[in-house]
Structure 1
Amino acid sequence: MTSPDLPAELKAALEARLQGLSRNAAAARAAAISKTYRDGGGSGAIKSEIDALAYALARMPATYAAVTASLNALGEIRPDFAPASLLDVGAGPGTATWAAADALPSLQDFILLDANDALRSLALDFARSSARLRNMNYEPGQARNLLAHAEAADLVIASYMVGEIGDAERRALAESLWAKTRDTLLIVEPGTPAGYARIIALREQLIALGAHVAAPCPHDGKCPLSAPDWCHFTQRLPRSGAHKQVKGAELPFEDEKFAYVALTRAPVAQRLARVLAQPDLTKVEISAKLCTPDGLAIAKIPRRAKADYARARRWRWGDAIIEG
């Protein structure tokens, strides 16, 4: 599996761009940009090189970790998946492209789309440190306009961008994303109830257009969860000194909560149950909430069933498992 930590060359490129930059100024800009996102705004708040660097320092590690975790989950279900081309929509500083390049050695062609000039400039600068990415094609402009003329790709990724657009445009964008998907579409959103709701709405829309779910769901049916519950996962990632400073954090790690769906043109061969929360371990049994091909289930594995109990002790939130 690919590590949730940023690749060495990307970390080095980011550190190089931070030389001479006031960390206090970067922290202030990162806080302002984060507030804009929380208030329903988007990347329009990122206007300058300092803005782009502050955003990258604050958000690239977590976004990279979430996309990597999603791609690792997809790889468990489809170990033979070997796409040659990637279309990264709403690419920002190129985080999802770096994650895909690291997780999928088969990728050769990288096309990125985004309207933010500051983030695009930073992404191109970072890409110069990578032999695989330095010749990537990064098109500036609004996603839907660019998608109309873009070539289809084996893998299409839209990470942390669907929430920046309205409901009506979101449905149209989803159709455009699917139209450009030769094989697999991966959508990643924040692991909030609102992020989950967007994922579920797009999942339902695209299944109606013929898509099949590869991960995290082991079925193409309606999500069995009901409010206030929602499907999301978490990925722990290390924090650098600069990352801690710009985030105003003391812990050496961060837990990124995310929601995702991977949709494919053809149905997947295996349907594995998904662990939807960290299992509850007691001296008597292990209890785990699972999404199964038949719907929601609470698995209870008694301690006396030694082999099954030992196996269940290794289950972690987000794992794909074989029941029984």
Structure 2
Amino acid sequence: MSVELPAPLRAAIARELEGVSRKGLAERAARTSLAYRAGKGSAGVIREADDALAYALARLPATYAACASVFEEAVARAPGFRPQRLLDAGAGPAAASWAALEAWPELGAVNWLDASPQFLEIAARLATDGPDVLRVAEARRGDLTAGGADWPRADLVACSYALAEIAPARQAAVVADLWAACDGLLALIEPGTPAGFARLRTAREALIAAGAEILAPCPHHGACPMAGEDWCHFSVRLPRSRDHRIAKGAEVPYEDERYAYLLAARPGLGAPVAARVLAPPRSGKPGIDLKLCTPGGLEARFVAKRDKQAFSAARRLDWGDPAL
């Protein structure tokens, strides 16, 4: 699966880049990446408008692709869900909002919540020629850890790549506030690293205890079977523009974004799958090996080539797909 930015968003980024030094942005992007990896939050990293632009150039495409993949899964798991209100919490340059509009064009109101004025400003500029609902999105400056009493309620609450910036001791309270603001579906998206997965596994336990139904990626509500150095994550491929390659210091014309996610819903909104493919299927002459998460736990399933019907179905499966 390859995910491209919507044409209006690509055009908006190109407009922001007019007259701006690509070398300077690449240097800012590199410093920003190092700072985030060192554990610094956006408040200590995004200090100027050009910092936000460098971040948008280097990271927005991958964030959008991950969100788009997660929302595509949400549509499949809850086909009757028709959200009207979106709360994009920790919005950054609003990649999740753009992805949500692709999945649910009927969205009628969008709220951005972020502590960074630079991010909120660039989100508004990038939305200038976007869908009407984004052009009039309400931007709220606020720290996710300050409490959600004043947050607007929403049918769809998205929090992408934001929990990583919150101290571990405060993450549980933030997840509780996100769930309290949610009238329908809560989407949590994190880097596809062991640490990102660990944050989501903890959030999953708390959300189930609070009455949420987990729609994806899990096919059950039991204890997570992942153990040791194994972790649940997925991958999406996105094309890189020339400017994107310069900002990333990369040569290849594409990027594979690894991400982890959780879709938690109010009861009755949708249903999980019977099983989930947790790794790229391995094909050989005798057949295909699948690593699955099932209600019974992790399962290594072999589909023999001689079982033509099952083998035909297994050949179409990819990493992250539902499996029967």
Name the TM-score class by shorter chain.
Answer: over 0.9
* SS at 1:66 equivalent: helix
What amino acid maps onto 2:128 in structure 1?
R
CA distance in 2, matches of 1:155, 1:87: 6
Sort the Cα spacing of 1:46 and 1:173 in 2 relative to 1 into closer, same or farther, 3 A: same
Counterpart residue number, 1:89: 89
- 1:224-235 superposed matches below 5 A: 224-235=225-236
Asked whether the equivalents of residues 287 and 311 of structure 2 are also in contact (C-alpha less than 8 Å), the reply is yes
Residue range with higher mean Cα deviation, 204-213 or 137-146: 137-146
CA distance in 2, matches of 1:283, 1:162: 43
Query: Do 1:183 and 1:265's aligned partners in 2 also have CA atoms closer than 8 Å?
Result: yes
Instruction: Provide the rounded CA distance (Å) in 2 between the counterparts of 1:214 and 1:235.
Output: 20
The root-mean-square deviation of aligned C-alpha atoms, in Å, is 1.3
Per the alignment, residue 264 of structure 2 pairs with 263
Q: How does 1:116-195 map to 2 (within 5 A)?
A: 116-130=116-130, 131-145=132-146, 147-195=148-196
| Residues matched between the structures, number | 321
1:40 aligns with 2:39: yes
1:110-121 matches, within 5 Å, as 110-121=110-121
Could you tell me which residue of structure 1 aligns to residue 316 of structure 2? 314
- The two structures have a TM-score, normalised by structure 1, of 0.96
Kept after mapping to 1: 8 A contact 2:218/2:272: no
**3-state SS of the aligned residue for 1:299?**
strand
1:103: Cα distance to partner? 1.1
* Stretches of structure 2 lacking an aligned partner (at least 5 in a row): none
Q: Which runs of 5+ in 1 are unaligned?
A: none
Which of 298, 302, 305 is equivalent to 1:303? 305
Distance in 1, Cα, partners of 2:6 & 2:127: 12
Alignment match, 1:53: 53
Tell me how far 1:143 sits from its aligned partner.
2.1
2-side partners of 1:109 and 1:159: how far apart? 18
Give the ranges of 4+ consecutive aligned residues of structure 1 lying more than 6 Å apart after TM superposition: none
Counterparts of 2:223 and 2:147 in 1: how far apart (Å)? Answer: 32
Conserved in 2, the CA contact under 8 Å of 1:271 and 1:293?
A: no
Moved more, 88-97 or 263-272: 263-272
Question: 1:253 is matched with which residue?
Answer: 254
The residue number in structure 2 matching 1:199 is 200
d(CA) in 1 for partners of 2:147 and 2:163?
Answer: 16
Matches of 2:255 and 2:212, distance apart in 1:
33
Distance 1:270-1:197 versus aligned 2 partners, 3 A rule? closer
* Partner Cα separation in structure 1 for residue 46 and residue 5 of structure 2: 22
Q: Distance in 1 between matches of 2:294 and 2:55?
A: 38
Q: Distance in 1 between matches of 2:247 and 2:89?
A: 27
The residue that corresponds to 1:26 in the other structure is 25
Normalization by structure 2: what TM-score? 0.96
* Identity across matched positions, percent: 46
Q: Is the 8 A contact 1:10 1:126 kept in 2?
A: yes
Residue 7 of structure 1: how far off its partner (Å) = 0.6
Q: Is the 8 A contact 1:73 1:320 kept in 2?
A: no
The Cα offsets for residues 134-174 of structure 1, whole Å up to 9 and x where unpaired, read as 11101012124362112210010110000101122111111
Write the letter of the residue equivalent to 1:30: A
